[in-house]
Structure 1
Amino acid sequence: MNREQLITLISEKLKLIRTERDLTQDQMSDFLGLSKKTLVQIEKGRIQTGWTTTIAVCALCRDSTILQHELGGDPLEVVDLIANNGTLQPKEKTMGGYIWWKNLSEYNGYCLQQNVISQHFRILNTDNYRLLSTFDESIAKQAWENLQE
């Protein structure tokens, strides 16, 4: 997934996200800092959200079932990956990949996984802390090989 794909996805799902949160167009436009006219144009598919609005939707509506389903988990992880050119190395506790993740390989309790929706990769340690996230398969595989040395 890249920036343009995320913008398109958020633009297409904005009305659903708004209704999921039970907000009127006036409330949602205030919530996002947009004019109501701009929000209506986005919801009708005439224009797309900008990158800043896309990030705001992902941050402010992070718990949206629609967003989590469409992105395969935490929307901010996908935003962070895109903004950082595809690679993250924070240590963050995860749920271990019970939903949206396919185990590609396991070694001594470590796990290499791929998100079935966004297709990005991650490595989890034995306590399900994320050691690496990346869209780049070669980076993920190299890190996985280094872990096994």
Structure 2
Amino acid sequence: MDKDDLIQEVSKKMKLIRVEFGYTQNRMAEVLGLSKKTLVQIEKERTNAGWTTVVAVCALFQDSDVLKNLLGDAPLEITETIAHQQIDRPSGRTMGGKVWWTNIAEDQSFTLQQNVISKHYRIIDQEYNRWFSSFDVQEAEARFKQLIKD
């Protein structure tokens, strides 16, 4: 998944996300900083949302079941990984990947996982803190080897 894919997929789901949260078009437009006219155009799939709107949707509606079905359990993580191309620093505690993740490699300290929906990779520690995210399997495997060696 790349930036364009994310923009297209989230744009297609904007109306469902709005309805899921019980927002009117006016309220949703206000929350996202859009005009109602722009939101209507996105919802009718006449145009796609812009990158900043997609980031806002993933951040503000990260608990959305619609987004989770589209991107897995961590919409904001996927957005952040795409924006930075990878994340290589300890950050936020995850739920451990019991539903949306497949374990690729494990060691006593770290687990390398792949998201079954977005196909991106991440490394978490024993307490489920995320240490690394990337869409590149070779980068993920190299970082995993480095972490378990240290």
Give the percent of matched residue pairs that are identical in Structure 1 and Structure 2.
Answer: 48
Instruction: Please give the alpha-carbon distance, in whole angstroms, between the structure 2 residues aligned to 1:88 and 1:67.
Output: 24
Q: 1:1-149 alignment to 2 at 5 Å?
A: 1-149=1-149
Count how many residue pairs are aligned between Structure 1 and Structure 2.
149
| SS at 1:112 equivalent | strand
Contact 2:11–2:49 at 8 Å: present in 1 too?
Answer: yes
TM-score, structure 2 as length reference: 0.93
Instruction: Please give the alpha-carbon distance, in whole angstroms, between the structure 1 residues aligned to 2:60 and 2:91.
Output: 22
Instruction: Please give the alpha-carbon distance, in whole angstroms, between the structure 1 residues aligned to 2:74 and 2:14.
Output: 17
| SS at 2:90 equivalent | coil
One-letter code of the match for 1:79?
T
One-letter code of the match for 2:45?
G
More divergent stretch after superposition (86-95 vs 98-107):
86-95
Query: Considering only aligned residues, what root-mean-square deviation do their CA atoms show, in Å?
Result: 1.3
| SS at 2:133 equivalent | strand
Instruction: Please give the alpha-carbon distance, in whole angstroms, between the structure 2 residues aligned to 1:32 and 1:101.
Output: 30
Instruction: Please give the alpha-carbon distance, in whole angstroms, between the structure 2 residues aligned to 1:73 and 1:134.
Output: 16
Instruction: Please give the alpha-carbon distance, in whole angstroms, between the structure 1 residues aligned to 2:57 and 2:148.
Output: 39
| SS at 1:57 equivalent | helix
Instruction: Please give the alpha-carbon distance, in whole angstroms, between the structure 2 residues aligned to 1:88 and 1:74.
Output: 16
One-letter code of the match for 1:91?
S
Structure 1 unaligned blocks of 5 or more: none
Instruction: Please give the alpha-carbon distance, in whole angstroms, between the structure 2 residues aligned to 1:87 and 1:131.
Output: 8
Offset at residue 90 of structure 1 (A): 2.6
Instruction: Please give the alpha-carbon distance, in whole angstroms, between the structure 1 residues aligned to 2:2 and 2:123.
Output: 21
CA offsets per residue over residues 36-72 of structure 1, 9 Å max, x none?
Answer: 1111111111011001111111111111111122111
CA offsets per residue over residues 6-58 of structure 1, 9 Å max, x none?
Answer: 11011100000000011111111111111111111111110110011111111
TM-score, structure 1 as length reference: 0.93
Change (3 A) 1:59 1:147: closer
More divergent stretch after superposition (93-102 vs 106-115):
106-115
| SS at 1:89 equivalent | strand
